[in-house]
Amino acid sequence: FNITHASYAATAVNSSQYPVGELTEIAFIGRSNVGKSSLINSLCRHNGLARTSGTPGKTQTINYFRLTGKLSDQSRLEFMLVDLPGYGYAKRAQSARATWSKFIEEYWLKSTRLKLVCQLIDLRHPPMESDINVYHWLIEHGLNVQVVATKADKISKSRIQQHIQVITQGINMGQLHPGGRIIPYSAVTNAGRDELLDVIKNILLK
Ligand code: GTP
Ligand code: MG
């Protein structure tokens, strides 16, 4: 399964602006600066498609990207990747944080075509309280969640599994999602890309 086409589709801050159509959505969520927009660019092999920044709080709207993937039998699948603003950004004003939760909550409640949430957690650190809370919230609401541990290029290969263990235990994945696996990913080397694309393909074909 590989991506043959990716382009910007729409931006929304409320449900009246959601793109019309039938395409399945795969959303990306995580703390500000964890690497959501970079990961979307890596999956699409298209740097600059989603805007990235070293300063947290870059993405402030819901951004949709339309992708075409090709299967080994040459058939095509079209779907949307959805880039969301980050959570847990302490410096953001209280009022902006309230807005964040409001339109994100609206997105969860009104996006009937949402099939998978990729929750990104920084591989270098144990999960933060906000990561744990969001993971539990997603599972409780019956969403399909794939946890992706980002910035894997910043950890030596020999220590990656140890860090994955810390995150697995920190979010209590063994209990809440037995058999669930965390994918280590690097948007710099594209490590983890094939594995994540495989998860996405299986969701699309379900
Ligand atoms: P917000 O939109 O602010 O919520 O952030 P975001 O989660 O979209 O993060 P973004 O993709 O903008 O990346 C934040 C910073 O981390 C940028 O400086 C990226 O270059 C860097 N970054 C993202 N992914 C990786 C990665 O896999 N490896 C390394 N080394 N740096 C990364
Ligand atoms: Mg972003």
Position in ligand 1 atom list of the atom nearest CA 41:
11
- Give me the interface pTM, i.e. the ipTM: 0.99
Dihedral of alpha carbons 116, 121, 126, 132, sign: negative
Among residues 97, 89, 64, 91, the alpha carbon closest in space to that of 79 is found at: 64
Q: Is the CB of 189 under 6 A from ligand 1?
A: no
Average pLDDT over residues 46-55: 88
Round the CA-based radius of gyration of the chain to a whole number and report it.
16
Among residues 13, 136, 137, the alpha carbon closest in space to that of 64 is found at: 13
Q: Which residue has the higher pLDDT, 43 or 92?
A: 43
Instruction: For residue 37, report the distance from its CA to the centre of ligand 2, in Å.
Output: 4
Average pLDDT over residues 193-206: 96
* pTM for this model (two decimals): 0.94
Over residues 129-186, the pLDDT tens digits come to 989 999 998 999 899 999 999 999 999 999 999 999 999 999 999 999 999 999 999 9
Q: What is the pLDDT of residue 92?
A: 55
The proportion of the chain whose per-residue pLDDT surpasses 70, expressed as a percent, equals 94
- Per-residue tokens: 131: 């990561």
Query: Is pLDDT above 70 for 77?
Result: yes
Ligand at minimal distance from the CA of 30 is 1
Dihedral of alpha carbons 56, 144, 171, 100, sign: positive
Q: How far apart are CA 46 and CA 92, in angstroms?
A: 29
Q: How far apart are CA 118 and CA 105, in angstroms?
A: 16
- DSSP for 17-52 reads GSPPS---EEEEEEBTTSSHHHHHHHHHT-TTSS--
**What is the average pLDDT score of the chain?**
91
What's the domain count of the chain?
Answer: 1
Q: What domain range is 163 assigned to?
A: 2-205
Position in ligand 1 atom list of the atom nearest CA 54:
18
Query: Is pLDDT above 60 for 73?
Result: yes
Q: What is the pLDDT of residue 58?
A: 74
Over residues 56-65, the pLDDT tens digits come to 777 778 999 9
Instruction: For residue 59, report the distance from its CA to the centre of ligand 2, in Å.
Output: 4
Q: Is the CB of 121 under 6 A from ligand 1?
A: no
Q: Whose CA is nearest to atom 12 of ligand 1?
A: 52
Q: What is the pLDDT of residue 97?
A: 58
Query: Is pLDDT above 70 for 95?
Result: no
Q: Whose CA is nearest to atom 17 of ligand 1?
A: 54
Q: Is the CB of 58 under 6 A from ligand 1?
A: yes
Ligand 1: which of 39, 52, 183 to mutate, judged by most atoms within 8 Å of the beta carbon? 52
CATH number assigned to the domain comprising residue 78: 3.40.50.300
b/e burial code for range 183-200 (CB count within 10 A of at least 16 → b):
bbbbbeeebbbeebeebb
- Per-residue tokens: 41: 């660019």
